[in-house]
Chains A and B, each alone.
Chain A
Amino acid sequence: MAETIQIQVNGEQRGFRADATVGDLLRELAIKTERVAVELNLEIMDRKDFDHRSLKQGDRVEILSFIGGGASVDLQGKGRGFVHAE
């Protein structure tokens, strides 16, 4: 049984294999890498590094992509909830 570490992915705590890379995490989550941006501990990663950067205990990973949007969405950024004028 491989050792596990605790990391935070998109705001949620989760355990993951200690020897894994960011690329492994994306594959585990079934996320295609072409259209995502990954921020690791507030630093935006070059996608070439996904398979080279190992995850460490306490790492904070943000995985973002494009969603429908025209102009501004709500403050929480929950996606499609637009602010309507009366």
Chain B
Amino acid sequence: MQNDRLIIAGRELTSRLWVGTGKYKDFTETKKAIEASGADVVTVAVRRVNITDRSKENLLDYLDPKKYTILPNTAGCYNVEDAVRYARLARAAGVSDLIKLEVLGDERTLFPDTVGLLEAAKILVKEGFIVLPYTNDDPIMAKKLVDIGCPAVMPLAAPIGSGLGIRNPYNLKIIMEMVKVPIIVDAGVGTASDAALAMELGADAVLMNTAIAGAQDPITMAEAMKFAVYAGRLAYKAGRIPRKLYATASSPIEGML
């Protein structure tokens, strides 16, 4: 596993667990949880600076951009125009050309509006962004996103923050077979076994936030997720046995009395 590197648009990433930075109690907890998770890719949102209370600290004072790949997202954007605007602002704020593109279609499910997503992705790819699109577990849409220049695809496991786990492993598997770019399973993971399952299916990485930040003990859960992703990856590489309906004895008959 030493050389098991994940490469996206020429960037080499060392961890296959990516984490969000929202919903933590404070920045100290955020930092501790990220360290425990071993993640080197962290997502952040772009928002107005609080100009009335300047005592508020900056998240990036806690996360060294030299140590982590900062992946800004367009969270909260419900149309193409807003998503493109936030992506450009994220780039102007000066981390990189990377953007996790979200165009949401519905407040209750936070499911992606994949029509808007494709349109926004086209615009941003043309502007030189490295677009990582948050999409549905739809193989055809995944393929379209790759065709227009996305160097990775981020299909959901279940609705954001739902903790329902991998709702459609077969679709995810088809996406992994259909497109030849890294697949990062994003959103919906609830616990360690969900993350392991995503990796066993062949995902290249898993991105989560709520499953860690919302756990009763986020730092311990972060560590659990690190091992789950690692175990799932190893199991995938090792190649599991086929499922069979009937038993196969593992002890020899020979030598029995």
Contact = CB atoms under 8 A, between A and B. Distances in A.
A and B part of one assembly: yes
Interface of A: 9-12, 29-32, 34-39, 44-47, 62-75, 77, 79-80, 82-85
Interchain residue pairs A-B with the least CB separation, the first 9: A70-B20, A70-B209, A69-B45, A37-B92, A68-B21, A85-B162, A37-B93, A66-B44, A71-B160
Given A66-B93, A69-B209, 14 more contacts: A29-B49, A36-B93, A45-B92, A47-B94, A63-B48, A64-B46, A64-B49, A66-B46, A66-B60, A69-B75, A70-B22, A71-B102, A71-B161, A72-B102
B30 interface: yes
Interface stretch (B9-17, B51-59, B115-123, B215-223): B51-59
Q: How large is the interface on B (under 10, 10 to 19, 20 to 34, 35 or more residues)?
A: 35 or more
B89 A83 contact: no
Contacts of A80: 22-23
Contact of B73 (A10, A12, A65, A69): A69
B210 A70 contact: yes
Contacts of A35: 58, 60, 93-95
Contacts of A77: 47-48, 76
A82 B46 CA distance: 14
A30 B95 CA distance: 21
A20 B210 CA distance: 43
The prevalent SS among residues of A at the interface is loop
B39 to A, nearest CB: 11
Given A11-B48, A30-B54, A66 B161 contact: no
Interface of B: 19-24, 27, 30, 43-49, 51-52, 54, 58-60, 70, 72-73, 75-76, 78, 88-95, 102, 104, 107, 110, 134, 159-164, 186-187, 207-210, 213
Contacts, number: 154
A30 B162 CA distance: 39
Contacts of A64: 46-49, 89, 93
Contact of A68 (B24, B48, B102, B207): B24
